């Protein structure tokens, strides 16, 4: 039984990491209806920039600020060069454009900083700690704390600030938001910046766990089932979905994997999400899909 709980908690905590990546997707999808496939590439790009600057002798705070500035610039460039010319195109075209951005970011990140594995040491403590008789990795606990504070920060930003209110208005109804004078283009820049900063945090956490390398970009693929479980437009959905996927994945790998030959982590979350969608098409917390003719 204790083993079961250890696996469960390990899964939940790694699910937190998926939630971090899924959050970035949700932010952009909510505000602009763009399914941003480049989120994974943004995670890698931010992490690579950060690590690259650290390796060039920057202090941690300087590198962090420089990376955030880079993500802001990226958001502005994306809005100017990609979103603005493609406004009002079909969703699939926007989706394809973000795949183009993903290629671009992966290429440029690795061209600038090299394709090797960069270890990222921020002095985050690792090693097991004993909580109520269950072994938990300290790193996972810290990751959970970081994710928690990030979500709290985002919730505060969305609920209490002026810009947050504007963002929610845009998410509700583009045209109504525009007609009351909310500048849509600025909102997109802000939202991509927010997604970039979330990607940066996710990049740091994944990077210090695995080392900064190309496979970090593939984490985005793990975030997709989280998204459809939780609903594309729901921040709490991204968190709960992440936890469910993380726990389900680990439990299935440990208790089900040996019977079918292992390696089922790659698809289990997708199958789970797909079966779930058959029952509840809008995901756990997604807005109810109402169709009008």
Q: Which residues bind other proteins (CB under 8 A)?
A: 35, 81-82, 85-86, 89-93, 95-97, 99-108, 110-111, 115, 221, 224-225, 227-228, 232, 260-264, 266-267, 270-271, 273-274, 277-278, 281, 283, 291, 293
C-alpha to C-alpha distance for 86 and 109, rounded to whole angstroms: 25
Burial of 284 (0-12, 13-18, 19+ CB in 10 A): middle
Q: Which is nearer to other proteins, 139 or 192 (CB)?
A: 192
- Shortest distance, CB of residue 34 to other proteins, whole angstroms? 10
Q: Which is nearer to other proteins, 35 or 285 (CB)?
A: 35
Question: What's the min distance (Å) between Cβ of 32 and other proteins?
Answer: 13
What's the closest the beta carbon of residue 272 comes to other proteins, in angstroms? 9
Q: Nearest distance from residue 45's CB to other proteins, in Å?
A: 12
Instruction: Tell me how far CA of residue 14 lies from CA of 43, 117, 146, 256, in angstroms.
Output: 16, 21, 13, 19
Residue 33 C-beta: closest distance to other proteins, Å? 10
Q: Which is nearer to other proteins, 132 or 289 (CB)?
A: 289
Q: In angstroms, what is the minimal distance from the CB of 219 to other proteins?
A: 14
Nearest CB to other proteins, comparing residues 48 and 167: 48
By C-beta, is 5 or 103 nearer to other proteins? 103
Q: Which is nearer to other proteins, 176 or 274 (CB)?
A: 274
């Amino acid at each position: 039984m204790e083993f079961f709980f250890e696996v469960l908690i390990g899964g939940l905590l790694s699910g937190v990491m998926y939630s971090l990546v899924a959050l970035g997707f949700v932010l952009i999808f909510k505000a602009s209806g763009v399914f941003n496939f480049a989120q994974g590439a943004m995670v890698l790009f931010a992490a690579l920039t950060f690590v690259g600057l650290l390796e060039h002798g920057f202090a941690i705070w300087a590198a962090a600020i420089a990376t955030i500035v880079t993500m802001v610039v990226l958001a502005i460039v994306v809005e100017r060069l990609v979103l603005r010319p493609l406004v009002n195109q079909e969703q699939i075209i926007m989706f394809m454009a973000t795949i183009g951005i993903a290629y671009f970011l992966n290429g440029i990140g690795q061209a600038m900083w090299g394709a090797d594995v960069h270890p990222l040491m921020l002095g985050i403590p690792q090693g097991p700690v004993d909580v109520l008789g269950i072994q938990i990795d300290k790193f996972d606990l810290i990751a959970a704390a970081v994710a928690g504070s990030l979500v709290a920060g985002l919730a505060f930003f969305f609920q209490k600030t002026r810009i947050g209110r504007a963002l929610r208005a845009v998410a509700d109804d583009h045209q109504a938001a525009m007609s009351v004078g909310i500048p849509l283009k600025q909102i997109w820049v802000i939202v991509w910046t927010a997604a970039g900063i979330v990607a940066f945090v996710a990049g740091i956490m994944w990077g210090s766990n695995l080392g900064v390398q190309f496979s970090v970009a593939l984490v985005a693929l793990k975030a997709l089932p989280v998204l459809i479980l939780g609903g594309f437009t729901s921040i709490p959905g991204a968190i709960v979905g992440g936890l469910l996927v993380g726990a389900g994945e680990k439990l299935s790998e440990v208790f089900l994997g040996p019977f079918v030959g292992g390696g089922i982590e790659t698809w289990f979350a997708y199958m789970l999400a797909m079966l779930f969608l058959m029952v509840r098409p809008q995901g756990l917390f997604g807005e109810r899909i109402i169709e009008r003719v």
